[in-house]
Amino acid sequence: MKYWLRLTLVTGFYVLLFILFTWPLAAQLTTAFPTRPGFGGDSLLYIWNFWNFREAVASGHNPFYTNWLLYPGGSSLWMHAYMPLLGMLNVGLQNEMLTINLGLLVSYALSGTGAYLLCRRWVRNPVLCLLAGVIFAYSPYKLIRLPEHYNLVLTATVPFFVMAFLDAFAFEPGHFLPQVRSRRAVVWCLGLGLLTLLSDHYVTFGLLYFSLAYALWYWLRLGQLNWRRWQTWLGLAVVLLVCHILIKQLRNLGVPDYGGPWWGGDAVSYLLPAPNSRFLDFGWAQRLTQSPEVYNMPGSVEIVLFLGYSLLLLGLIVAVWPNRPASSRHLDAAGRPLAWVLLFFVLLTLPTLRIYGKDHLNLPTALLHFIPFINNIRVPTRWVMMVSLLLPVVSFSALEAIWQTRLRPQWQTALSGLLLGIVLVEYWPKPMHLTTGNDIPAVYAEVARLPGTTLFPIPFGLMDGNRQVGLVQTEQFFYQTYHHKKLPIGYFSRIRPEVFTVFQQDTVLSRLLAAQTHPTTIPPAIPTSAQVQAFLRKYQPAAFVVHPAYLNQPVHLYLRRMLLPLGYSERLIDGYSLLWRPAVKIR
Amino acid at 193: G
Domain end call among 394, 413, 433 = 433
pLDDT by 10s per residue, the chain, length 587: 788 999 999 999 999 999 999 999 999 999 999 998 876 678 899 999 999 999 999 999 999 999 999 999 999 998 888 999 999 999 999 999 999 999 999 999 999 999 999 999 999 999 999 999 999 999 999 999 999 899 999 999 999 999 999 999 999 998 899 999 999 999 999 999 999 999 999 999 999 999 999 999 999 999 999 999 999 999 999 999 999 999 999 999 999 998 899 999 999 999 999 999 999 999 999 999 999 999 999 999 999 999 999 999 999 999 999 989 999 999 999 999 999 999 999 999 999 999 999 999 999 999 999 999 898 898 999 999 999 999 999 999 999 999 998 999 999 999 999 999 999 999 999 999 999 999 999 999 999 999 999 999 999 999 987 889 999 999 999 999 999 999 999 999 888 888 898 888 889 999 999 999 999 888 888 999 999 999 999 999 999 999 999 999 999 999 999 999 999 999 999 999 999 998 644 44
**CB-CB contact of 209 with 345 (8 Å):** yes
Domain end call among 401, 433, 465 = 433
Is residue 404 a part of any domain in this protein? yes
Q: Do 420 and 508 fall into the same domain?
A: no
Q: Do 462 and 491 fall into the same domain?
A: yes
Q: Do 462 and 374 fall into the same domain?
A: no
Q: Indicate the burial class of 5 (C-beta count within 10 angstroms; 0-12, 13-18, 19 or more).
A: exposed
Q: Do 99 and 149 fall into the same domain?
A: yes
Backbone angles phi and psi of 32, in degrees to 5: -150, 160
The 8-class DSSP code of residue 292 comes to: T
Is residue 485 a part of any domain in this protein? yes
* Whole-number Å distance between alpha carbons of 489 and 72: 10
Backbone angles phi and psi of 23, in degrees to 5: -55, 140
Q: Do 468 and 368 fall into the same domain?
A: no
Coil, helix or strand at residue 74: coil
Q: Do 218 and 329 fall into the same domain?
A: yes
* Whole-number Å distance between alpha carbons of 533 and 549: 28
* Whole-number Å distance between alpha carbons of 406 and 383: 35
Coil, helix or strand at residue 75: strand
Q: How far is CA 469 from the centre of its chain?
A: 23
pLDDT tens per residue, range 383-432: 999 999 999 999 999 999 999 989 999 999 999 999 999 999 999 999 99
Backbone angles phi and psi of 71, in degrees to 5: -65, 140
Domain end call among 392, 408, 433 = 433
The 8-class DSSP code of residue 299 comes to: T
Domain, as residue range, for 488: 440-580
**CB-CB contact of 349 with 383 (8 Å):** yes
Q: Do 137 and 170 fall into the same domain?
A: yes
Quote the number of domains for the chain. Answer: 2
Q: Do 297 and 265 fall into the same domain?
A: yes
Q: Do 474 and 393 fall into the same domain?
A: no
Q: Indicate the burial class of 360 (C-beta count within 10 angstroms; 0-12, 13-18, 19 or more).
A: exposed
Q: Do 497 and 369 fall into the same domain?
A: no
Q: Do 474 and 390 fall into the same domain?
A: no
pLDDT score of 3: 86
**CB-CB contact of 91 with 503 (8 Å):** no
Q: Do 409 and 448 fall into the same domain?
A: no
Is residue 67 a part of any domain in this protein? no
